[in-house]
Chain A
Amino acid sequence: MTEAPDKGREDAEPPGPAVAMTAPQVDAWFVREILPLEAALMHFLLRSRRSSSEADDLRQEVYVRVYEAARQKIPHPAKPFLFAVARNLLVDRVRHEQVVAIETVADVDTLAVAIDEPGPDRSVIARQELRRLEAAIARLPRRCRQVVVLSRIEGLSRREIAARLGIGEATVSTHLTEGMYQLAKLLYGEPHTQGGKP
């Protein structure tokens, strides 16, 4: 009965990728699509470079390239794009550093195979997330862990934490900063040891 002669709507377009993205949209996309791939990316980078601080620097450069590309246009799908950028970066590096062993060059090519291992499951059931978070927090240094737990879980302020632990507020800040830094590394950069595979 509400059937109206609806001309020209049959060919409604499927929702394509958005064209102009605002900075918050790119940020959100980055957090949602790229950060969950960090563990795989680090694995990829570590296999070819060995030193972990060097891999961190490479990771940062890959992120900058991916992020800046996304400002122009969000790449779909994200994963192959991320690894293409990483691979190109490695190839560039190898070209610049003639001292690098041939083995590394070979690695860059063979690594392409490793990329398509099952990606992280996008829908994270609360319980899995809980386990991962607990594992990450358990790996923080003791004092740092206490401060993080009091702040993030118990919701105490800097002053309250200082009073509770009998330390200065500046020290609380130092531990919190360290905790934030470490948690980002543990939550994104470390392989998901359990329950990762479907």
Chain B
Amino acid sequence: MSPAGERMVLPSAKEIDLRAAEWLERRHREDWNEADQTALDAWCAEASAHRIAYIRVEAAWTRAHRLGALRRPQNRGGVLGAASRLPLLAKIAAAVAVLSAAGAGSAIYFKAPPQKVYATAIGERKTLALSDGSKVEMNTDTVLRVVADGSGRTVWLEKGEAYFQVRHDSAHPFTVMAGGHRVTDLGTKFLVRTDAQKLQVSLVEGSIRFDAPDGRMREPLLLSPGDSVTAKENTIVVTRNSERELAKDLGWRRGVLVFDNTTLADAAAEFNRYNREKIVIADPAVAQLRIDGTFPNENLAVFARAAQQLFELHIVERNGKTVISK
């Protein structure tokens, strides 16, 4: 029943887990500094068990933070009990009142900070090296506005998709605005894609904060790597992605589209983002066929041929369109 002596090399799991929680608690205090960070890094480097215990308790704590972020004001109460805090709407109203009062007076004097607009054509891909060392890879048919002033760095993703590798600088936060949502980098690699129906943000590495434009979220959402937020008109959903799914979403960086049990309809829509020449699927039954594989995103012919051989379909070129039918 009692463990043999040889097995007592490691302190108990509970001790290590508690120690990791102590580190995390200290990490969240205001006076956390470089020296503390060095000490924590050293503790984590001491044994894999330490590092694992730390990332585990940190991941749980990050999840707990989502509770605050996802919880709508009217759902409060319950296990959390009453809380004394201004209703959110009242707060927003107050903030808006202050802003508009200031805005009315200062609008005339307001000078727009310098900004640059970058765009890619359909099928084009471009990498921007920003002066601060950050890198932005723009996918097909994308428009970006970059504003850099003294207080921070802001990129507006007007349309399309971009992959950000941000040089973190806490004095000058890097912010991406898209569809009224705000993504703030906390040291990071992430992907943002926007179209008429939805905005999707996927975090590859590091950490980001996601804010919705209205009072939908009481607190910003903190994402950890692998998290993906999809914001539509009325919903915000957080999902976890596997390594494979992320690699799939980032395929365009190598010029490929990766399909995994993807319907021909969805595959065609993807190709159409990259090519002026469009694929049209003429038959609803054909549209529901599913396909796997990796294809160069600018080469419709390869894809059309694969679909043709796989499902014995007919391919016709007509007025700059590739029509696929039975």
A-side residues, CB < 8 A to B, are: 1-4, 6, 9-10, 12-15, 17-18, 24-25, 27-33, 35-36, 53-54, 56-57, 59-61, 63-64, 67-68, 74, 96-97, 122-126, 129-130, 133-134, 136-138, 145-146, 148-149, 151-155, 157-158, 173, 176-178, 180-181, 183-185, 187-188
**CB of B293 within 8 Å of the partner chain:** yes
For B239, what are the chain A residues with a Cβ–Cβ distance below 8 Å? 122-124
Tally of contact residues, B, Cβ under 8 A: 80
Q: How far is the CA of A1 from the CA of B317 in the complex (A)?
A: 12
Do A35 and B59 have beta carbons less than 8 Å apart? yes
Do B251 and A181 have beta carbons less than 8 Å apart? no
Binds A, one of B19-27, B94-102, B103-111: B19-27
For B241, what are the chain A residues with a Cβ–Cβ distance below 8 Å? 32, 122
Do B25 and A31 have beta carbons less than 8 Å apart? no
**In the assembled complex, how far is the CB of residue B192 from the closest CB belonging to chain A, in whole angstroms?**
19
Q: Which of A9, A18, A149 contacts B243 (CB 8 A)?
A: A18
Do B226 and A133 have beta carbons less than 8 Å apart? no
Do A180 and B61 have beta carbons less than 8 Å apart? yes
In the complex, the chain A residue whose C-beta lies closest to that of B260 is A14
Known: A60-B52, A187-B60. 7 other contacts (CB 8 A): A31-B224, A56-B14, A63-B52, A122-B239, A126-B237, A133-B66, A152-B65
Closest 8 pairs between A and B when the two form their complex, measured CB to CB: A28-B225, A60-B13, A184-B60, A15-B247, A138-B79, A56-B13, A153-B68, A180-B21
B67, B123, B225, B256 — most chain A CB neighbours (10 Å): B67
Do B17 and A181 have beta carbons less than 8 Å apart? yes
In the complex, the chain B residue whose C-beta lies closest to that of A57 is B13
Binds A, one of B129-137, B159-167, B294-302: B294-302
Prevailing SS type, chain A contact patch: helix
**CB of B170 within 8 Å of the partner chain:** no
In the complex, the chain B residue whose C-beta lies closest to that of A180 is B21
**In the assembled complex, how far is the CB of residue A109 from the closest CB belonging to chain B, in whole angstroms?**
23
For B242, what are the chain A residues with a Cβ–Cβ distance below 8 Å? 32-33, 122
Do A15 and B277 have beta carbons less than 8 Å apart? no
Do B320 and A28 have beta carbons less than 8 Å apart? no
Do B226 and A28 have beta carbons less than 8 Å apart? yes
Q: Which of B21, B78, B255 contacts A134 (CB 8 A)?
A: B78
For A12, what are the chain B residues with a Cβ–Cβ distance below 8 Å? 254, 256, 294-296
In the complex, the chain B residue whose C-beta lies closest to that of A157 is B30
For A136, what are the chain B residues with a Cβ–Cβ distance below 8 Å? 64
For A183, what are the chain B residues with a Cβ–Cβ distance below 8 Å? 57, 60-61, 63-64
For A68, what are the chain B residues with a Cβ–Cβ distance below 8 Å? 48
Q: Which of B80, B205, B240, B320 contacts A149 (CB 8 A)?
A: B80
- Per-residue interface assignment for chain B, residues 109 to 133, with 1 indicating a CB less than 8 Å from any chain A CB and 0 otherwise: 0000000000000010000000000
In the complex, the chain B residue whose C-beta lies closest to that of A123 is B239
In the complex, the chain B residue whose C-beta lies closest to that of A145 is B79
Do B298 and A4 have beta carbons less than 8 Å apart? yes
Q: How far is the CA of A151 from the CA of B219 in the complex (A)?
A: 13
Do B83 and A154 have beta carbons less than 8 Å apart? yes
Do B68 and A35 have beta carbons less than 8 Å apart? no
Q: How far is the CA of A68 from the CA of B206 in the complex (A)?
A: 21
Q: How far is the CA of A129 from the CA of B83 in the complex (A)?
A: 22
**CB of B238 within 8 Å of the partner chain:** yes
**In the assembled complex, how far is the CB of residue B122 from the closest CB belonging to chain A, in whole angstroms?**
8
Q: How far is the CA of A136 from the CA of B296 in the complex (A)?
A: 46
**In the assembled complex, how far is the CB of residue B73 from the closest CB belonging to chain A, in whole angstroms?**
12
For A129, what are the chain B residues with a Cβ–Cβ distance below 8 Å? 63, 66, 70, 238
Q: How far is the CA of A67 from the CA of B296 in the complex (A)?
A: 35
For B64, what are the chain A residues with a Cβ–Cβ distance below 8 Å? 133, 136-137, 148, 152, 183, 187
Do A152 and B67 have beta carbons less than 8 Å apart? yes
Q: How far is the CA of A29 from the CA of B204 in the complex (A)?
A: 11
**CB of B18 within 8 Å of the partner chain:** yes
Do A134 and B67 have beta carbons less than 8 Å apart? yes
Q: How far is the CA of A32 from the CA of B79 in the complex (A)?
A: 28
For A13, what are the chain B residues with a Cβ–Cβ distance below 8 Å? 294
* Contacting residues of chain B (65-100) with chain A, CB-CB under 8 angstroms: 65-68, 70-71, 78-81, 83, 85
For B59, what are the chain A residues with a Cβ–Cβ distance below 8 Å? 31, 35, 184
A-B contact list, 19 entries, CB within 8 Å: A3-B299, A3-B300, A4-B298, A6-B299, A9-B296, A9-B299, A15-B244, A27-B51, A53-B14, A56-B17, A57-B12, A61-B10, A122-B242, A123-B239, A130-B66, A134-B79, A148-B64, A176-B25, A180-B61
For A4, what are the chain B residues with a Cβ–Cβ distance below 8 Å? 298
For A146, what are the chain B residues with a Cβ–Cβ distance below 8 Å? 81
